[in-house]
Structure 1
Amino acid sequence: MKNILILAGDGIGPEVMREACRIIDWFGAHRGLEVNLEHDLVGGAAYDVHQCAISDATMEKALAADIVMLGAVGGAKWDNVDYA
């Protein structure tokens, strides 16, 4: 079984990742693909919650995952954020 971390991101990212998850689910139901999906925040969505673009905990999950799927990040709301 593969562990997949979904980092949907911002803007259109969550919409795109929702559709990607539907495809993964289809392969699970029709082709026996066995995966464990986990979701977390990145980009502006993470900044709104954690005041950083990616938390240490999310980075640890990403390093441990077999696959990381990253959606689009950014948007006007976060154009002037100091990520340093």
Structure 2
Amino acid sequence: MKCKSSVGAGIGIAVVPETAKNLRPRGVRFLQILDEPEPVHVALGWQRGKDTPAIRSFRQVALLVVQQMQTSRTRSLPE
């Protein structure tokens, strides 16, 4: 993990997943970001005319993940 060594050397900062704490790097302090992140817009793209079974499966899974994320986000909004 290159960013870990830069941070540990005092020459960088990094935004990392919470699981990075499990690496227990020396000289690195982790702070939880409490602000609600801005939404990230993602697009899928593939070569025209190359709609393979693998692409169709990936697209289907990606759409299901987006639907689940939207559902869980709606449930967590304050009333």
- TM-score, scaled relative to structure 1: 0.31
Higher relative contact order (CA 8 A, sep 6+): 1
Q: Which has the larger radius of gyration?
A: 2
Select the structure that is richer in strand: 1
- TM-score, scaled relative to structure 2: 0.32
